[in-house]
Amino acid sequence: MTKHPFRQFRESTTATLEGLKELLSEDVVFSSPIFSKEVKGRDLVARIMFTSSKVRNGHFTHEFKEGAETVLIWEGQIDSHKLVSFELIRDNDEGKINYRSVAFKPLPVAELFRNAMYEQLKDVVAADMWVLQPTH
């Protein structure tokens, strides 16, 4: 099976932010437990995705594909603690990523990851994306 282009990108030693943007649709939606809402739009989503690879290290261990959907499992570390992520990627008809949803475990290590991402992106991602808003 051919690896998903996003996995190929992550495994490349020459990955760039511009290269990542080429994999994403203009209207891409990103869902992550580190944010209180979905993130929308190629430039911001690319910046977040690119930053995540800078604050943790690891590798993909599994890939499953059915139609336009791919599931990737990644294992690695942040601050010498094991972190595992599961992600669903959905491609549009042009083969661009138009949806990505990611989950992490265990929670205490996911919080370390979130804190590291916050430090890198607090001036880029709106403040209300980092906090849970009360429901009415």
Task: Judge whether 67 lies within some domain.
Answer: yes
Per-block mean pLDDT, blocks of 10 residues, the chain (136 long): 92 93 98 96 97 94 97 96 97 98 97 96 95 80
CB atoms within 10 A of CB 88: 15
Query: Angle at Cα 116 formed by Cα 132 and Cα 25, nearest 5°?
Result: 75
Q: Which is it for strands 57-66 and 97-105: parallel, antiparallel or unpaired? A: unpaired
Task: Judge whether 136 lies within some domain.
Answer: no
Q: Which domain holds residue 100?
A: 21-123
Task: Judge whether 4 lies within some domain.
Answer: no
Task: Judge whether 8 lies within some domain.
Answer: no
